[in-house]
Homo-oligomer: A and B are copies of this chain.
Amino acid sequence: MDILSLLNWRYAAKRMTGQEVPQEKIDRILESIQLSASSIGMQPFRVLVIKDTELKSKIREVAANQPQITEASHLLVFAAWDTITQERVEDYLNRTIEVRQVTRESLAPLKAYADSMLNNSPEQNFNWTSRQAYIALGTALIAAAAEKVDATPMEGFNPQALDELLGLQELGLKSVTLLPLGYRDIENDWLVNLPKVRTKKEDLFITDKELQATASA
């Protein structure tokens, strides 16, 4: 499993060809999202899978007119729960009981943790639910690369306008990121041949020795 070559292969394509991605590839990318880790396994987000041409055009209008949205085969919209509710906690506990065949009592610690979030503000909870969606986003990027499918994470959109367009408020969701899936347009993408810019390892990582040197300085 060479994850590094997948990460080196992928980039945020700025133009896509419009070519359709086979459904079995999409299915595996979605399954990887489903299998992603999340805090206490709650998966407090949903993923919209949009193929409809007209709807993609409307989304593009509230997303800085970025061409990949309509040039993609499928557009994923990651939308996090707007907050944690009693009903959502119950669904989560019931799902765990169903899959693991355990008693409700055995889940008391999980329930206590989940219940504690009912006291948080919706904003606090949304910050938490958003983070969990981003773990799945990280997974989806690698899963797409493994299928040789390009994927461009996008935060450059008007979330209020998008939520309204998609009726997300009624679903208790708020959009956090877009992920067009398609194929890079090598001839028209200015980014395709530019080197990846990454923070140097010595800046990105801090060893315990460096920490202790700072602490004792």
Contacts and interface: CB of A to CB of B under 8 A. Distances in A.
Chain A interface size band reads 35 or more
Contacts of A142: 3, 138-139, 142
A141 to B, nearest CB: 6
Contacts of A167: 211, 214-215
A31 to B, nearest CB: 6
Contacts of A134: 131-132, 134-135, 137-138
Contacts of A72: none
A3 B34 contact: no
Nearest to A75: B208
A131 to B, nearest CB: 5
Interface in A193-217: 194-201, 203-209, 211-212, 214-215
B137 A197 contact: no
Contact of A55 (B99, B138, B208): B208
Given A95-B197, A100-B194, A138-B137, A12 B37 contact: yes
B196 A35 contact: yes
A162 interface: no
Given A3-B143, A205-B49, A36 B197 contact: no
Nearest to A126: B127
A206 to B, nearest CB: 5
| 8 A-B pairs with least C-beta separation | A138-B138, A1-B146, A134-B134, A7-B35, A135-B138, A52-B208, A50-B208, A99-B197
